[in-house]
Structure 1
Amino acid sequence: MAARFPLPNGATLEIARVIGAAIPFTALTNAKPPVATAAGHTIQNGDVLLVNSGWALISDRAVKASNVADDAFSLAGLDTSDAEKFTAGAGVGSVYPVSDWVQISKVTSFNSAGGEQQYATVGYLEDDDDKQFPTNRNPTTLSIVVEDQPTAPYVQAVEGYDTSKELAVIRMKLRNGDQILYPGYVSITPDPTMERNNVMTRTISVGLSARSLRYLAGA
């Protein structure tokens, strides 16, 4: 029987240490999921990919590859079937394979801030009340507090991304088998917090470059 309440207990976090070379695709379909044409690619089912596409709505997102064939693969979890939002033929670009995962260990807290819906306010002369219309959302930032571990394998990777300012991918694995992919720009506080009788900690911040993508267990 599945757990009755969704608790984060038992979740693990990982960061990819390697962002591979770009694999160009010459076509991307309007579909759910979209199918990319890439002659002679080496992508396998389940590989995590960073997307660089002419369609801004899916660019910089982290996805899983599925339905892999000799010269094509699908971007699982994405839906580009609306041709009004995704102009046919305009989505060509490339993907970057993500690999060499290392665990971000001894996490004491994981929080997300931002992502709130913004509204345009309109008021007419004859109205007693103003009206609101949804516009954009605020950017989202993850805050991951970890025990100070200067020799832990993930620290070098995180500090490297902090220095290079290159896109990275964080993966959360939930105990029920779900996975969440977070693409973004990673930084870490250079010095640990120090308070008597409390564990020394550092904070990893991830400014998301695009929305996260959740894959249900078995997907």
Structure 2
Amino acid sequence: MGFALPNGATVFVGSKLAAAVAVSAVSNANGAVFTVATGHGLAVGDVVLVSSRWSLIDNLVARVTAQTTTSVTIGVINSTDTNFFPAGSGGGSLRKVTEWTEIPQITEVAQSGGDQQYTQIQFLADDRQRNLATYKAAKSQTFTMAHDSTLPIYGVLSAADRSGDILPLRMYVPKAKEMRYWSGQTSFDPQPTTAVNNVETVQPAFAIQSRDMTFYKDTATETPSA
């Protein structure tokens, strides 16, 4: 059993990404291997935004755990189940995050969505309905931050709001000794909320695009989990 407070956590947005590295194939393995061209430039420890025809890992943000001249391994991806990861159809691209910009002065973090939806069915012989799981609602995340228009993050968020680009995000929780990665599409209005005797705030919001969040402990050896 383990738990920790989020106090002291920092949140960053991937503000610059390298050119996409084309992926011609992805293996069905516990620690998926991405086939890439020679000269891909990716190294162990690089953080990448995954684009894949496998929807379960599309827009995933994760670390490179091994590489050769023609391959890149991402250890957290378990693609062994060909029912969900059809062999030969996982190609796409990888984009390395080359710069991170902090979302500072966060006063509140709010999340919504992700809840399981259901439909009901009742047979003639039943005296009560049955619930059948259908889909999970889309997720969004909103950060409330103290307003300061000189902060570098304002330009990053405004540009992403205009372009609609999907951005990697990361959060480091020191008390958990854990780095977390995910991705989202940005919505940002730089006009602050103003009220007497209250600090002015703005609220960058993200429509979450990655199906899963990836987790990396400071000292633990990485174990495939997603």
Q: State the TM-score bracket (shorter-chain normalisation).
A: over 0.9
Structure 2 residue aligned with 1:16: 14
Structure 1 runs (4+) deviating above 3 angstroms are: none
Q: Distance in 2 between matches of 1:191 and 1:147?
A: 12
In the alignment, structure 1 residue 30 sits paired with structure 2 residue 28: yes
Cα deviation for residue 119 of structure 1 reads 1.6
2:56 aligned partner, one-letter code: L
Segments of structure 2 that go 5 or more residues without pairing to the other structure are none
TM-fit CA distance, 1:216: 2.6
Query: Is 1:96 matched with 2:104?
Result: no
The answer (yes or no) to whether the contact 1:62–1:213 under 8 Å persists in 2 is yes
1:202 corresponds to which letter in structure 2?
Answer: V
Contact persistence 2:154–2:190 (CA under 8 A): no
SS across alignment from 1:110: strand
Identity of aligned residues (%): 29
- Paired letter, 1:50: L
1:54, 1:90 within 8 Å by CA — same for their partners in 2? yes
Could you report, residue by residue, the CA deviation over 1:107-144 in whole angstroms, capped at 9, with x for unpaired residues?
Answer: 00112111001122211111011111222110110010
Counterpart of 2:218?
217
1:126 maps to amino acid: A
Offset, 1:69 = 2.0
SS at match of 2:87: coil
Contact residue 77 and residue 215 of structure 1 kept, 8 A: no
Q: Which amino acid aligns with 1:214?
A: F
The aligned residue for residue 63 of structure 1 is 62
Q: Is the 8 A contact 2:16 2:97 kept in 1?
A: yes
Q: Secondary structure at 1:26's aligned position in 2?
A: strand
**Offset at residue 6 of structure 1 (A):** 1.1
Amino acid at match of 1:213: T
Whichever residue aligns with residue 214 of structure 2, its letter is L
Counterpart Cα distance in 2 of 1:207 and 1:60:
12
Please state whether the residue corresponding to 2:167 is helix, strand or coil. Answer: strand
Q: How far has the Cα of 1:5 moved from its partner?
A: 4.6
Structure 1: segments with no counterpart, 5+ residues: none
1:139 aligns with 2:146: no
TM-score by length of 2: 0.91
Residues 1:42 and 2:20 aligned together? no
Per the alignment, residue 204 of structure 2 pairs with 204
Separation of aligned partners in 1, 2:94 and 2:69: 16
1:173 aligns with 2:177: no
